[in-house]
Amino acid sequence: MLDAPPTPPLSVAASSSAKNAHLKGRKRFAADFADLKAQGLELGGLAVTKIQKGDDEGMLDLVVVDRNKNDARVLGCNITITDTSEYPKHHTILTYSDDTDLPERVTRAFSGLESAPAMPIGEALERLLTSLSGAKPAAAPKSPTKPLTKGKSFATNNAASDEELDSDEGSDDYDGYFSDNDYAIPNNSQARTTAAAAKERVTARIQRDFVEVVSSSYRPGLIPFTSGQWDPATDFAVSVSFPTVQLTQTIPAQALVAWDRRLLASAKARYLVLLISGFNSGAGSSVHNVYPPLTAEGQYVRKGMQLRFQVGVCSAYKPTREHAVEAGRTFGLVGKDAEDEIREAREKAAKLREAQLAEWGSLDPDGEGPGGDGGFGDFGGAEFGEDVVEDGGQDDEEGRFERFSLSSSLEALLDSQLVRLIALRRQYGIGWAGAEMMVERVEREQRAEAEVWTVYRQEILAADADEAREARGGTLPHDPLHALPKGDDINVPYVAFCYLVRRLTLCTRYCLVCHNKLNTEFEALKPYVCDRPLCTYQYYAHNRGASLEYEIIHNPETVDLLLSLTYSAAAEGAVDEPLPVGMALRVPPPDKARITIPPPSNIHAYHQPAAPAPAPTNFVYAIGNDGLVDFDTLPVEHMRASIAGLIDTLPSIDDMKRHLERKVKPGKSKPRLKEMENGTILPAAWSILRWCVASCTAYLEEMSSEEQCIQGLDPAWRQFRFSVGAPDAEAKFQKAQQKSTATDPNAKKYPSIYAFHGSALRNWHSIIRHGLWFKIVANGRAYGDGVYLAKEAQTSMSHYAASARACWRKSKLGPTSCMALAELVNLPHQFVSSSPHYVIKDTEWIMCRYLLVKGLDTPQADALRKKKKDKAAIPFVKLDPAQTTTLMGKALQVPQPGHQIAQLVEERTQELVDEDHDETDAYIFADRAPPQTEVIELSDDDEPMPMPMPAAKGKGKGKGASLGPPKDDWKHDAAYVQRTVEMLMPPPLDSTPSSTMAVQRELKAMLKEQDKAMVSPGGLKELGWYMPPELVGDNLFQWIVEMHSFDETLPIAQDMKKQKVNSLIFEIRFGPTYPIGPPFFRIITPRFLPFMHGGGGHVTGGGSICMDLLTSDGWLPSYSISAVLMQIKLAISNLDPKPARLAHNWNTPYGVGEALAGFKRAAATHNWTVSIGFLFALNCVLIRLFQVPDGFDKLVR
């Protein structure tokens, strides 16, 4: 009798799988790796050595050696598990080798491993060695093994391999181990299926993230960088956007316009867009992309990975592929621009023409040669160059991505700090403010993060508490990381965009360069930098502030004015802090004739405009080899002289504008200012120009139409819209005004008065940067301390707005004097003085509205008449007749402040339209067909269900039929409701006997109450809801209910009537814990206006109902569904704080994911506890809905 064959020992893979079977995800991967490294792996004479973790998460570096040849190196490679959170059942395996000239057999072995289904790493390496050596795995299965190659077993392959080893000793090392027959060529259909499955997993994850983004009323998009159908293996970018006009809900519209007019003034900038790219960056980037890019702890999944963020505006919800690629381009071709080519072509043609004419002996002034038409005129016409070059002007192109003034600063912040902040928040459980403070302390003190947390823990938590209080006021966006459980995946696009909106909202409180919080007494209207010299240098050298080029092109009058005011202040010795120090300026030694000290400031200064006394000139300059001196080493008087001298070397603003508007070919570098005048202008002069514009933290814009201008003012005065102070200065002024109207009867009737503030031209460089402070005595204080303002314009014009003695000679405006018109709170009896001038100590009672400039160039009346508007349509301020604002005794008419900006906001709001998804985004959002679901069946012991009632038709019969419903009773529209059935979630799959009985009771009660209402005098109209019996299906746990007959005076009822919406259609779902846990209510259609867009009614951005009674905290088992429906109807009807309204895209049904994410976000915002049993049920639904692995359950945790 033959002995039974010995049981083969378990392989490394098999023993590791048995030992670590209870683990999954990253823990399982780490355990399998530790076992593999400790035990090693040897098969068929080949062994895996030097196994270690690679640079990326999930990557293994290893070397294969031949034991039969003294451990000769055979192959070096790395194997990557793309998503260790899905290990070992749902990941994808990728292979890579740095070795060159790999034989085809090796590449096929790699391909076979990549196309194989998911498996533990031990099995994967055994499969690799088997393919390379032809050996049989150590743990052979009991059942017959399927041959690796057609017609051959493992043993046959092994024998063939041994024969080849003997016969090919002199060949290449690789050829000594591999034969074409050793490798099982993968089935093409299997490879395609595996690749498709990997694509669906990535798509499902992106879809999940996108659904959460949509629930916050943001708009996500995916932009492939290659044409054709999207493939996750190719490079791509993710965008998140929302309309720029919606920023006005948290940022004053006036501040937005001051930061960059494109944010509101241009229809081309309808959307604020964040582009995220770099998913293929880091080690192995040539092999694959990575999504999601961060682990649950906020670390990059691959070492060396670096996401890239770009911030801009766009006319569409996402830029086109071409513009997204162009936005990421960090260089441009240096070459001649279009106008250079035109000029050179014309010069060449002219020389040719002259040569030809000289040959003919005719060079008359008219240029007429033998042909009588100018000879060779075809070479010299204006048409010549125009046909040669390509017009680079494409400003009106749809989908163009444009950067704005804060783009560079925000991009630097996101690139350098966002991922680090996320990691700190996940590690220490803190908020954005606390994480920012930690980063600042770590960088400043060069300490470890743990040490900073220990030392400054209380301060960090206090910073978070302060921001939490501010967030409760609705001024900050939702925080997706707040209350996100440990281990849950991070939605990077959503988190990044929310952080972007937060920092944009708070940008004036932070330095634009180092991004740390400012500690200054004065908060500016525009964002600026801190007082660190390095920040100052980078701000101007790297153009981190307002775009100088944009301002010159689109607002040349303002740039001209700013430069002229700086010149006058410098030439007259009045320029004070802040000075352009820390900018590494190399300047010529100042002309000593320019060096002056400022004149004494007193009330009589305007009577004797004597020239200021010269300053001491015995300072010795440290002149370098370049003939220049360091600006920062100069005395203040010499600095002023140097500033004036540098400004004098600049060309006029009109010349700069013409230079910047020169056309260039696509891909070529745009014209730069430093190229003007052949580059002979010193770099320091351009830096001074940038300093003049970027250091102005006020908002200045010349009025372009008569409706914007003060009526009755001398046209010699150019009028600029003028705002100075913090972004919330307007809000503080309005608050002070409201307080005055509540306590003073006259102020209630006339809330505002207007007055003029005049000052010498040299002082306005400082005023427009600091506001109307009274720390410096400019014209005396005869009537007390405070800001002095005049009731009569002539007082300011003739006495205080003293003319300048020095003007920039290249200025088109040529300003000689300035004064401001300010709006004041109408409480003159509380001023320091109200006669003969107003003297106000509380600067929050003053709001500058206009800057009036008198210069050598006067505005053309015709230019204003072109945009003239009917005076009856212009809203003017109702001024107090007892406190008139006059010019030469004639009362002025002042347009209502904010009228133009309010109109601008309204125009941008009206332009908003819902854009359809492009092909790529439609694919991402497409519903994945759910598998067949099991219907819940009732047991025979359950209470019998009533038969579904037929649809109500006509009047009810039976008892009470004589009364009947009212003639105008609400009518059910079966076709309207039927269209929404396809938008339902898949039927619930989980139930318990107790929940089944409870749902049966509720359904029976609902139908009974509905039947009574149908024959009652009040009818269905009084009931307010309707449950279509024909849609009571086999699954008790999923209902459709209509809500109708709202009070006709409500905005929602008027919207429904206007759009002919018959009812609100609800889906109600019951979980297995009902009635202990609450059901889930969501609206399928119509779509409501989200809260952040001005809507209300307790409806979330995804259509779910945001009410405490529908959470575990507020729910009671005694609640009936009909009573809950009435509570929901009351909530929708509530006008406080905002009434419910239909969205402009009201006929777009809510998606399933939107409702879930919206409810989850609302619950997190209000710290509500969501029912665990119901979330488990929804988790099962979503897994089946999107056909994704178990890891998808993190969406509902």
> CA–CA separation, 793 vs 10, rounded Å?
99
Q: Picking from 431-440, 932-941, 960-969, 1122-1131, which range would have the lowest pLDDT averaged per residue? A: 932-941
**Is the CB of residue 804 less than 8 Å from the CB of residue 762?**
yes
Instruction: Tell whether 243 and 264 lie within a shared domain.
Output: yes
Q: Tell me whether residue 455 is in a domain.
A: yes
Mean pLDDT across 358-385: 40
pLDDT band at 949 (very low <50, low <70, confident <90, very high): very low
Is residue 527 pLDDT above 50, yes or no? yes
Residue 1016 φ then ψ, to 5°: -90, 160
Instruction: Tell whether 114 and 159 lie within a shared domain.
Output: yes
Q: What share of the chain is helix, strand, coil (3-state, %, to 5)?
A: 40, 15, 45
Report, in angstroms and rounded to the nearest whole number, the Rg of the chain calculated over CA atoms. 38
Q: Which residues are 28's β-sheet partners?
A: none
Of the candidates 827, 829, 750, 759, which has an alpha carbon nearest to the alpha carbon of residue 790? 759
Q: Which residues of 26-46 are buried (b: 16+ CB within 10 A; e: fewer)?
A: bebbebbbebbbeeebbbbbb
Instruction: Tell whether 981 and 1118 lie within a shared domain.
Output: yes
Instruction: Tell whether 204 and 316 lie within a shared domain.
Output: yes
Residues whose CB is less than 8 angstroms from the CB of residue 863 and which lie 6 or more positions away in sequence, other chains included? none
Q: Tell me whether residue 571 is in a domain.
A: yes
Instruction: Tell whether 743 and 887 lie within a shared domain.
Output: yes
pTM of the complete model: 0.59
CA dist list (Å): 666 to 334, 420, 759: 11, 37, 48
Q: Tell me whether residue 962 is in a domain.
A: no
> CA–CA separation, 694 vs 688, rounded Å?
10
Instruction: Tell whether 213 and 288 lie within a shared domain.
Output: yes
Instruction: Tell whether 588 and 660 lie within a shared domain.
Output: yes
Mean pLDDT score of the chain:
75
Q: How many residues does the chain have?
A: 1197
Q: What CATH number has the domain bearing residue 1014?
A: 3.10.110.10
Would you call 948 helix, strand, or coil by DSSP?
coil
Alpha carbon 132 to its chain centroid, in Å, reads 50
Instruction: Tell whether 989 and 1135 lie within a shared domain.
Output: yes
Q: Which residues are 893's β-sheet partners?
A: 711
Of the candidates 131, 134, 92, which has an alpha carbon nearest to the alpha carbon of residue 114? 92
> CA–CA separation, 378 vs 549, rounded Å?
37
228: left (phi over 0), alpha (psi -120 to 50) or beta: left
Instruction: Tell whether 692 and 707 lie within a shared domain.
Output: no
Predicted local confidence at residue 365, as pLDDT:
39
pLDDT in tens, 631-649: 988 888 889 889 999 999 9
Predicted local confidence at residue 326, as pLDDT:
79
Predicted local confidence at residue 1065, as pLDDT:
94
Mean pLDDT across 802-820: 83
CB atoms within 10 A of CB 151: 7
Mean pLDDT across 1181-1193: 44
pLDDT in tens, 389-446: 333 444 456 778 888 888 888 999 999 999 999 999 999 999 999 999 999 999 989 8
How are strands ordered across the β-sheet holding 401-402? 219-224, 236-243, 271-277, 308-314, 401-402
1194 or 257, greater pLDDT: 257
Among the candidates 676, 696, 716, a domain finishes at: 696
Range of the domain at 229: 198-331+401-505
152 or 962, greater pLDDT: 962
Of the candidates 1195, 926, 1197, which has an alpha carbon nearest to the alpha carbon of residue 215? 1195
Instruction: Tell whether 828 and 790 lie within a shared domain.
Output: yes
Q: What's the CA angle centered on 921, arms 915 and 924, to 5 degrees?
A: 140
pLDDT in tens, 77-125: 888 887 787 788 878 788 878 777 777 777 777 877 877 788 888 888 8
Q: Is 785 exposed, middle or buried (0-12, 13-18, 19+ CB in 10 A)?
A: exposed
Q: Tell me whether residue 833 is in a domain.
A: yes
Residue 989 exposure: Cα atoms within 13 Å on the Cβ side: 18
| Amino acid at position 1081, single letter | F
Of the candidates 524, 535, 522, which has an alpha carbon nearest to the alpha carbon of residue 582? 535
**Is the CB of residue 921 less than 8 Å from the CB of residue 221?**
yes
pLDDT band at 231 (very low <50, low <70, confident <90, very high): confident
The two structure tokens encoding residue 918: 């492009």
1127 or 166, greater pLDDT: 1127
Crossing angle of the two packed helices 432-445 and 419-428, in degrees rounded to 10: 110
Structurally, the chain folds into a number of domains equal to 5
Q: What CATH number has the domain bearing residue 790?
A: 3.90.228
Q: Tell me whether residue 380 is in a domain.
A: no
Q: Tell me whether residue 356 is in a domain.
A: no
Residues whose CB is less than 8 angstroms from the CB of residue 688 and which lie 6 or more positions away in sequence, other chains included? 566, 580, 585, 643, 646, 647
Instruction: Tell whether 721 and 759 lie within a shared domain.
Output: yes
1144 or 142, greater pLDDT: 1144
Of the candidates 822, 821, 835, 826, which has an alpha carbon nearest to the alpha carbon of residue 879? 826
Mean pLDDT across 1058-1084: 88
The secondary structure of 111-176, three-state, reads HHHHHCCCCCHHHHHHHHHHHHHCCCCCCCCCCCCCCCECCECHHHHHHHHHHHHHHCCCCCCHHH
pLDDT in tens, 21-63: 778 788 888 888 888 888 888 887 888 888 888 877 788 888 8
- Bridge-based pairing of strands 717-723 and 846-855 is antiparallel
pLDDT in tens, 855-907: 877 665 445 444 454 454 667 878 888 888 877 777 778 887 667 777 778 88
**Is the CB of residue 399 less than 8 Å from the CB of residue 316?**
yes
Q: Tell me whether residue 309 is in a domain.
A: yes
> CA–CA separation, 853 vs 862, rounded Å?
19
> CA–CA separation, 553 vs 376, rounded Å?
38
**Which long-range contacts (C-beta less than 8 Å, at least 24 apart) are formed by 468-474?**
468/431, 474/250
- Bridge-based pairing of strands 271-277 and 236-243 is antiparallel
Range of 282-291, 573-582, 661-670, 839-848 with top mean pLDDT = 839-848
The two structure tokens encoding residue 842: 């509380």
Instruction: Tell whether 30 and 164 lie within a shared domain.
Output: yes
The two structure tokens encoding residue 73: 């190196």
> CA–CA separation, 879 vs 488, rounded Å?
60
Q: Picking from 196-205, 1146-1155, 1164-1173, which range would have the lowest pLDDT averaged per residue? A: 1164-1173
> CA–CA separation, 545 vs 724, rounded Å?
17
Q: Tell me whether residue 733 is in a domain.
A: yes
Residues whose CB is less than 8 angstroms from the CB of residue 608 and which lie 6 or more positions away in sequence, other chains included? none
Residues whose CB is less than 8 angstroms from the CB of residue 746 and which lie 6 or more positions away in sequence, other chains included? 826, 880, 882
Of the candidates 663, 722, 650, 721, which has an alpha carbon nearest to the alpha carbon of residue 690? 650
> CA–CA separation, 51 vs 10, rounded Å?
21
Beta strand extents in 21-71 (DSSP E only): 41-43, 46-53, 59-66
Residues whose CB is less than 8 angstroms from the CB of residue 523 and which lie 6 or more positions away in sequence, other chains included? 508, 509, 725, 726, 727, 728
